Structure 1
């Protein structure tokens, strides 16, 4: 039995909640009465409720995010029906701002903002029977250097099986209107020596998989250098993920990044658009020349694996502009290009564009755009399928040589758009398409414009890059069986990154 259960639904089993561990670490004398329980979205909500209530908690604290808001809404309804006396407290970005588009009327308290101090105070008052808090608690920003750090509260199981999320800064200096991070433009940093001491303790316990949630890791070069130096001194293999801004890679940082071995470093690079007029409309500052130079450097002179973000549906940007962005990025980088659909998150200032550009959004998570004055609903649906097929064909790395052939005329967007339209008509689905089936679809589509033997051999070479794969049955009928293909043994954990880096 525990008086306090801290819980959330992560998007994957391999993920862990840093926010829950911050709350847990700052419960002070109440910490022995608390326990963290983590679940995964799309699990049975009733089973989750059962496992939580088995602990007979007096208080349940739930972290709510865009990916789990609907499931959490269902979870709290069930808990309140089964155990109405149990106090439910929700917090996190999805409930910190209005409008709250998922109904949380049945919860007892909503903590809006950073909850490390507020959650402790609320729990103490509830357990003492002295609580006079309002239902919505507007929590001020904490003193980042004075709150308890959560890293000792990662369990040995977490370290062995999950990504370890860490942060050495909060806030973002930029004002991009689609992003919640733009709400706090003043940066708050932990002392870098204190932070690295926590990392060192995790490392000594066996942690080798670190995801930094700092929005702009390379904004303060001295901090970035200290952290990179720490890991470069290690001899064992590890994996680091950073979110970086694309225009701030001075020579001192470049020299360090060039030293990382393949498979160690992943960079999420926020581009969103290369159209300066569109960027200005959403308060995003772009330095195009620096971005081009840095992407070229990262692609040609480092082993860093890149995720480069582009967004469909930004105010004032039509599909032709998005297509030019994609065509250009393809020439600048060999990394993954993450094609995202614009979402309107509560708390951002995107709504100021709604009337001007006819922006219409889904009222349910993930609050994605449905149409605007430049992109019809039908075309937006096409682009959502485009994004899905782009991920499973191009970003996966499974068809690297095949897509290079598809894009050989430089018309990346135009050719892939035609492919995605054809694929959806042919398959009537964007999910549960096997590798062999997709290979056959690509052969069927491309053989109308390319020499069939060339297409078949290119697809076969792509498919057989990973050791242990079998030749797709349809190719056995086309290609002589005496062909010799070298099969490379690719680590399963980093297969996607290694495929794209070759």
Structure 2
């Protein structure tokens, strides 16, 4: 009996690996009785020794690793030590982070027997079987060079349905991934998908049948990994229409995530999307930047007016989670330009605004541009930019702090009412997060802040920092002026504070918090006799109605 181990090292427990499941299913259809396929799916958060233990106890003849920027260094460590312990075993790598620099990595890693270049669904199977059963393998012509240890992909690729029914049952609380197309219609210079020459689509009937099968298991979330899902508008419409109909018919809970191009959405699609059940769809709509010169440099199409119109319309439906993206550190972009882009996107009130940082991936066109411009970036995964020709190293470090603040206080949704109130106060809403970052840095430094402390932090920020600036109409960072909404609080700082703290109280209660912290102007401490009389009257009426639940009374400045 021969054994192959397919090894996935995901970035978190909620994720699942699609690539190795394709290989597993293609190996299965070979119907080889003397072949045992072991699927090992772990996370990078586990200790490397426990991972090594899981690998070597299998004593597999071939170990195939799926390599990405988040796990490549760990894969190197595990491969090296597995080979030392099991010297007769074969080590195979594949995946986007090794394909582009296979010759270099092979020279640096003699423990690796072969690297699959490109997609590799079929050629991985050929290579594995050639190691295990050389007499049974039908080689694809000129596909493998044993001297270089490179194994390139083939032109015609078909990908099989990756999940077993048992997996669909056991993984339904995790994120499942699905692929309806490969390649991308765009040529963004920072992206590996931009180097493909065409987009290939899986048969639409097959896609719909597979989606229906997945939905019958009612998973929590399915993410399409298609690079621009709606590059074919008619196809996208059919799939969205199908998912809406199936969800209404089956009453499933599944959320579907898509990466889309805003400029490609048609009026017909928008009319359809308006009818989608709330929570069914999640759209990631990456602007990356709004700077025309930078957009031209990275070869990314972007029409600001169209983008704004479409995103605003999608937000008005109130049924689709909208996730907008920015990339910091793009060549030619300054800090001021970066913040201008952030203000543009935040004005659209997305459910999530992701501030990411440029990763200068090997073999992407942007790498050569960055090298030409003297951009400094990590020479190892994840290849993240450290200093660009437009943003200094210190400014990028500052933006990383801003990213953490943005994720904690905006993207989490835990402080929704207060944060959106503060955002509405300003013409340049991103200044909130710049100000808050400065305040946290000054008051707390690098230490971890507990959830309870974060409410106190926000209350202090409102009372001591923001209130003073509202009163003087002088926000220090980037001179963000008050909006029309914000101007009504000029010379009314106490009213501003009252409303802001009351909104923070709403956020506090929505998170299930029960204590009365110091910043909390709660009803129990009120000395207002009229309010106390009203409380007694309400309690009396509830008692007469035999209402036995415990009640809590709070005062709010709004209704």
TM-score scaled by length of structure 2:
0.81
1:132, CA displacement in angstroms?
Answer: 7.1
**Runs ≥4 residues deviating over 6 A:** none
Look at both structures and tell me which one has the larger radius of gyration over its CA atoms.
2
Range with greater deviation from structure 2 (231-240 or 378-387): 231-240
Residue 412 of structure 1 aligns to a residue whose secondary structure is coil
Residue 42 of structure 2 aligns to a residue whose secondary structure is strand
1:128 aligns with 2:122: no
Maintained 8 Å contact 2:190/2:367: no
Q: Residues 205 and 397 (structure 1 numbering): CA distance in 2 closer, same or farther, change over 3 Å?
A: closer
Q: Distance in 2 between matches of 1:391 and 1:8?
A: 28
1:111, CA displacement in angstroms?
Answer: 0.9
Deviation by residue 1:103-129 (Cα, 9 ceiling, x = unmatched): 544222111111111111111111135
Matched with 2:12 is: 12
Q: Distance in 2 between matches of 1:454 and 1:201?
A: 50
Q: Distance in 2 between matches of 1:155 and 1:126?
A: 28
Please, which runs of 5 or more residues in structure 1 have no aligned partner? 485-502
1:421 aligns with 2:462: no
Q: Residues 424 and 82 (structure 1 numbering): CA distance in 2 closer, same or farther, change over 3 Å?
A: farther
Residue 324 of structure 2 aligns to a residue whose secondary structure is strand
Maintained 8 Å contact 2:256/2:281: yes
Q: Residues 440 and 364 (structure 1 numbering): CA distance in 2 closer, same or farther, change over 3 Å?
A: farther
Deviation by residue 1:297-339 (Cα, 9 ceiling, x = unmatched): 1111241101100111111110111111111111123321111
Aligned alpha-carbon RMSD (Å): 2.4
Show the 5 A alignment for 1:452-471.
452-466=497-511, 468-471=512-515
Maintained 8 Å contact 1:166/1:211: yes
Matched with 1:167 is: 179
Please point out which of 398, 401, 408 is paired with 1:382.
Answer: 398
1:346 aligns with 2:362: yes
Range with greater deviation from structure 2 (199-208 or 361-370): 199-208
Show the 5 A alignment for 1:346-425.
346-407=362-423, 408-425=425-442
1:167, CA displacement in angstroms?
Answer: 1.0
Q: Distance in 1 between matches of 2:207 and 2:182?
A: 13
Range with greater deviation from structure 2 (226-235 or 9-18): 226-235
Range with greater deviation from structure 2 (344-353 or 121-130): 121-130
Deviation by residue 1:60-82 (Cα, 9 ceiling, x = unmatched): 10101111112222221221222
1:223, CA displacement in angstroms?
Answer: 1.3
Maintained 8 Å contact 1:295/1:333: no
Q: Distance in 2 between matches of 1:311 and 1:277?
A: 15
Residue 9 of structure 1 aligns to a residue whose secondary structure is strand
Matched with 1:224 is: 236
Residue 290 of structure 2 aligns to a residue whose secondary structure is coil
Q: Distance in 2 between matches of 1:442 and 1:358?
A: 40
Show the 5 A alignment for 1:53-452.
53-98=56-101, 104-129=109-134, 133-144=146-157, 146-152=158-164, 155-207=167-219, 209-234=221-246, 235=248, 236=251, 237-407=253-423, 408-429=425-446, 432-448=448-464, 449-450=466-467, 451=494, 452=497
Q: Residues 413 and 356 (structure 1 numbering): CA distance in 2 closer, same or farther, change over 3 Å?
A: farther
Maintained 8 Å contact 2:244/2:277: no
Aligned length: 480
Q: Distance in 2 between matches of 1:104 and 1:402?
A: 53
Residue 475 of structure 1 aligns to a residue whose secondary structure is coil
1:472, CA displacement in angstroms?
Answer: 6.1
Show the 5 A alignment for 1:24-35.
24-27=24-27, 28-30=30-32, 32-35=35-38
Range with greater deviation from structure 2 (303-312 or 127-136): 127-136
Query: Larger RCO: Structure 1 or Structure 2 (Cα < 8 Å, ≥ 6 residues apart)?
Result: 1
Q: Distance in 2 between matches of 1:80 and 1:481?
A: 68
Q: Distance in 2 between matches of 1:124 and 1:83?
A: 19
1:372, CA displacement in angstroms?
Answer: 1.7
Maintained 8 Å contact 2:123/2:154: no
Q: Residues 371 and 159 (structure 1 numbering): CA distance in 2 closer, same or farther, change over 3 Å?
A: same
